[in-house]
Amino acid sequence: MSPVSRSIIMTGLVTLLGTWGFWLGTDGFTAFTAETARRVEILKSPRPLPPVQLVDQDGHSFSLRDYEGKLLAVDFIYTRCTTLCQSMGMIFKQIRDLIPEESLGRDFMLLSISFDPDHDDSAGLKRYGKAYDADGRVWRIARVPDKAQLESLLDAFGIVVIPDELGEYEHNAALHLIGRDGRLRLISDIDKAVPFAEQVTALL
Amino acid sequence: MLYLLLGTPWARHQLEASMTLHMLVQMPLLVIVGITACRLLPDCWRQRLLDGLGGAIPCVVVAMFVSSYWMLPRALDAALTEPLAEISKFITLPLLVGFLLALSWRRLTLIGRGFVWTNFFSMLAVLGWLYIVAPVRICNSYLVNDQQHAGWYMVILATLLFLWWLGTLLVGDGGGPRKPSIDTDRTPE
């Protein structure tokens, strides 16, 4: 084989391989960030969640398992948050108000989970709940007292929390929907409250 | 030596703590390891290897694919959270970027080198710009601030490297910053 044709064949081969690698690595050129990848993967295969123990703003202990058979919207917060979580609260409130009232509590519930159990005690959660009119039944604000369980929960959801310079946290904030089978089935942007509520309503 | 040093948990922890260090120190150093490794090989081996691989063009294409892949935010995140991705970063950046580029460099003409350089500058600058203006956090593992700093450093670096390369183009042979050490051992082809 002449060097030229060899060069052409090799170039074609590595171009194909490279394109294929990119295709695989980005889920068919759709997911260029880890956050999109997380969402695409959940849509394709809903993910089971660990049965962690939570404590809500009224001090009631419960498990994620208790929600099986219902649709559950989940977000992650910490109550000292001055920026994103404030709007997260508003967005969750908006979603609750968009869902038909007869389904609330019966077929659809909301849960805000704090990933900062050191600072967020029941009183803090209660304050946060009051600010957004979370009743503790349809919409609970909860913490995971056990650190290892919290870790496994964040891991299963794909939430990465990193402390910033101001003593606060940065985290990938999103709206999560857990299906009736207890699996995480949908993740959407926090500014997509209306489409999120529409998707939930369609499933009711 | 440098490779082993970069692979230690301590160095990895330090260099991956911020996006800037990860992208603009650790990764380039890994590439340099590959370049150095290639230079240490005897000339005849390099020639044979290059011919076996089908010449300079496939090597450059592979290097471009691999280097672009490691610029994806997703790949950065994966390297931090998945050990397998981290290992492949430590293998592919030196071997498939540094080594292959150094291997093919002497066969490249002035235009070929210029293509590699300008392609690299523009990718660095565009990506840096994206990092600066992105309204959201692109990497789950890094702070927004960090992302913006990294973006600025990338744009600045791209500009400086471009000016440097332009300078060598005007008064030299366009080999760019790597020119001197590579051209001194030019062999007849």
pLDDT tens-digit series, residues A32-44: 888 888 888 888 8
SS3 A53: strand
- A73 conformational bin, left if phi > 0, alpha if psi -120 to 50, beta if neither: beta
Both tokens assigned to A55: 């404590």
Of A26, A31, A34, the CB nearest to B139: A34
| Residues A21 and A49 placed together within one structural domain of the fold | no
Instruction: Supply the range of the domain harboring residue A63.
Output: 42-203
Task: Work out the mean pLDDT of chain B and round it to a whole number.
Answer: 83
Interchain contact B53–A (C-beta under 8 A)? yes
How many A-B residue pairs are in contact by the CB < 8 A criterion? 81
- pLDDT band for position A162 (cuts 50, 70, 90): confident
Check whether residue A113 and residue A144 sit in a common domain: yes
Number of structural domains in chain A: 2
Put simply, the answer to whether A32 touches B77 (Cβ < 8 Å) is: no
Please give the ipTM for the structure prediction: 0.70
Question: Which segments of chain A are extended strands (E)?
Answer: 47-48, 53-56, 61-63, 71-77, 108-114, 139-143, 161-163, 169-171, 175-178, 183-188
Does B55 contact A10 at a Cβ distance shorter than 8 Å? yes
pLDDT higher than 80, residue A165: no
Q: Are A13 and A102 found together in one domain?
A: no
The residue among A149, A146, A162 whose CA lies nearest residue A78 is A162
pLDDT (0 to 100) of residue B4: 74
Q: Is the pLDDT of residue B186 over 70?
A: no
pLDDT value at A54 more than 50: yes
A79 occurs within a structural domain = yes
Structural domain contains residue A35: no
Q: What is the mean pLDDT of residues A169-173?
A: 83
Q: Mean pLDDT in chain A?
A: 88
Collect all residues of chain A within an 8 Å Cβ-Cβ radius of residue B53.
10
Please check whether residue B86 touches A, CB under 8 A.
Answer: no
Is the CB of B145 inside 8 Å of chain A's CB atoms?
A: yes
**In the prediction, which pLDDT does B181 show?**
43
What does the pLDDT average to over B148-168? Answer: 91
Note whether residue A36 is domain-resident: no
pLDDT of residue B174: 56
Kindly report the CA angle at A25 between B152 and B81, in degrees rounded to 5? 70
Q: What is the mean pLDDT of residues B38-52?
A: 88
Q: Are residues A92 and A117 in the same domain?
A: yes
Residue A109 lies in a domain: yes
Query: Looking at residue B184, what is its pLDDT?
Result: 39
Q: Is the pLDDT reported for residue B183 higher than 50?
A: no
- The CATH number linked to A103 is 3.40.30.10
Distance CA B32, CA B158 (A): 17
Nearest by CB to A34, from B53, B77, B144: name it: B77
Cβ partners under 8 Å of residue B109, min gap 6: none
Give contacts of A156 with chain B, Cβ < 8 Å: none
> Are A25 and A49 part of one and the same domain?
no
Residue A86 lies in a domain: yes
Residue B92, pLDDT > 80, answer: yes
- Average pLDDT value for residue range B77-106: 90
Mutant choice from A8, A11, A161 vs B, greatest count of B C-beta within 10 A: A11
Min distance B51 CA to chain A CA atoms (Å): 7
**Nearest chain A CA: its distance from B56 CA (Å):** 8
CA distance A16 to chain B (A): 10
- What is the C-alpha to C-alpha distance for residues B181 and B165, in angstroms, rounded to an integer? 15
The pLDDT-based confidence of B179 (bands split at 50, 70, 90) is: very low
Task: Tell me: pLDDT of B189 over 50.
Answer: no
pLDDT of residue B182 exceeding 60 = no
Taking CB atoms and an 8 Å cutoff, what residues of chain A touch B92?
Answer: none
Does the structure show a pLDDT above 80 at B187? no
From chain A, pick out residues whose CB is under 8 angstroms from the CB of B66. Answer: 18
Q: What pLDDT sits at residue B176?
A: 53
Percent of the residues in chain B that have a pLDDT greater than 90, as a whole number: 29
pLDDT band for position B88 (50/70/90)? very high
Average pLDDT rounded to a whole number, residues A132-148:
90
Judge whether A160 is closer than 8 Å to chain B, CB to CB.
yes
| pLDDT reading at B8 higher than 60 | yes
What's the pLDDT at B175?
Answer: 56
Q: What is the pLDDT of residues A106-127, one digit of tens each?
A: 899 999 999 988 888 888 899 9
Half-sphere exposure of A179 (CA within 13 A, CB side): 13
By percentage, how much of chain A surpasses pLDDT 90?
Answer: 35
Q: Are residues A26 and A92 in the same domain?
A: no
Question: Quick one: pLDDT at residue B87?
Answer: 92
Q: Do B57 and A7 touch (CB under 8 A)?
A: yes
Does the pLDDT value for residue A77 go beyond 70?
Answer: yes
Task: Assign A77 to helix, strand or coil.
Answer: strand
| Interval B11-38 mean pLDDT | 88
Contacts of B68 in chain A (CB under 8 A): 22
Strands (E), A65-160: 71-77, 108-114, 139-143
Q: Give residue B144's pLDDT.
A: 79
Asked if residue A14 and residue A90 are part of one domain, the reply reads no
Instruction: Tell me how crowded residue A155 is: count the other CB atoms within 10 A of its CB.
Output: 12
Q: Are residues A99 and A13 in the same domain?
A: no
